[in-house]
Amino acid sequence: MFTKSQALFEKANQVIPGGVNSPVRAFRSVGGTPVFMQHAKGAYMYDVDGNRYVDYINSWGPMILGHAYEPVVKAIQEYATYSTSFGAPTELEVTVAELIISMVPNIEMVRMVNSGTEACMSALRLARGYTGRNKVIKFEGNYHGHADSFLVSAGSGVATLGIQSVPGVTAAVAEDTLSVPYNNLPAVEQLVAENPDQIAAIIVEPVAGNMGCILPQAGFLEGLRDICDKNGIVFIMDEVMTGFRLAKGGAQELFNIKADLVTFGKIIGGGMPVGAFAGKREIMEHIAPAGKVYQAGTLSGNPIAMIAGYTLLKTLNEHPNIYTQLEEKTSALVAGLRSALGAAGVVHQVNHIGSMMSVHFAEYPIVDFTSASGANNELFRRFFHAMLEKGVYLPPSAFESWFISHALGQEDIDFTVEAAKASMQAIKA
């Protein structure tokens, strides 16, 4: 079934560390050989062996309208004839920034970068430069990219590989990164009290997507906002996953919480390599060349990424009913999976919000990294491979959120539910 993928993985291991260019692709959490993809369209991906999969990764979020969305593809093709990069300003960068500001509440300026990692790294540097403080508070299992500061108690790939202390991250950096459990306000309050006037920023995934999909408990985000207000701390919302996915205005709109800085990922480039950080003018004008906090990038605001992102975001902005339909599809999938797993007598939890979800094989609610880690992840491994063989491509780790695309149809949902039933029957046989 995966003959060509196996051969390619053996070849890749000779020239690429671990055979992959991003760790979670290696299938270390679930075992087996990673599947090499050839093309994708709508709700489906197709591998080099000709197998078709209903896709629940969607490039980790940005393919919200499905793969190879025709207006985006046509826009990319047109703009590629102008040049793939200028290294100089373009009008399109301004247009995209204006569109983002019009869609997202509480931001006044945007700086384009090249990835979600770069966006979070730059936002943190800006917060430190703005406040003159060095320490930052993050949450266990929240992943903000692979910049040094964020690899302390990170989720996702770091958790998947069982890495507790990342070589290459200096002790000084680690000491300035304070980590507490997600959804635990008293722990945050204690850290702030123990480090008076030293905390530059609190950074959080408003909905965690790197230890499964984990929702903020009532009052959690509001409490963080209050702590930041009282202590002169910059509140950073990492919306690399939730931005433009949970709502037009992301988690800020959905939860009615105002952040000081917000980070975005590749959805603002229609899946192209791009990111951005944004926020209040008072803070953003500390970034060079307006201010002294340095940040730069030759490909920032790349024209191909900008036209792809503009085309996608404009569609989402003009058709807000897309979000209602996405939630309806996700709810139908969640109900079907709960029924299938329950009928099989499998203890499980399904977390979901908007078009994000995750399945955990546990008896208790999954509310933080500790509870996610304690689930039956060996059963998830077997479930993943059974679903893969039946044509359903899930995240190859129990520590990752699933993402639903608008291209997903009811027939795909039904197919997935039936695959889950058959998978559990095979596992229990």
The alpha-helical segments, DSSP class H, found in 281-409 are 281-284, 303-318, 321-343, 369-373, 377-389
Is 266 considered catalytic here? Answer: yes
Token pair of 270 as six digits: 């229609």
Task: State the Cα angle at 70 between 62 and 271, rounded to 5°.
Answer: 20
> How many C-beta atoms surround the C-beta of residue 89 within 10 A?
9
How large is the angle between the packed helices 303-318 and 70-80, nearest 10 degrees? 150
**Residue 397 is encoded by which pair of tokens?**
């780790």
Q: Which is the catalytic residue, given 176, 238, 260, 368?
A: 238
* Pairwise CA distance, residues 133 & 197, whole Å: 7
Question: Which listed residue (55, 266, 323, 393) is catalytic?
Answer: 266
Token digits for 195? 């480090």
CB burial class (10 A; 0-12, 13-18, 19+) of residue 232? exposed
| CB < 8 Å & 24+ apart, contacts of 375-382 | 375/349, 376/347, 377/29, 379/346, 379/427, 380/30, 381/29, 381/30, 381/31, 382/427
**Is 294 part of the annotated catalytic residue set?**
no
The side-by-side arrangement of strands in the sheet containing 44-47 is 37-41, 44-47, 52-55, 392-393
Catalytic position from the list 130, 143, 182, 323:
143
User: Active site includes 46?
Assistant: no
Provide the annotated active-site residues.
Answer: 143, 238, 266
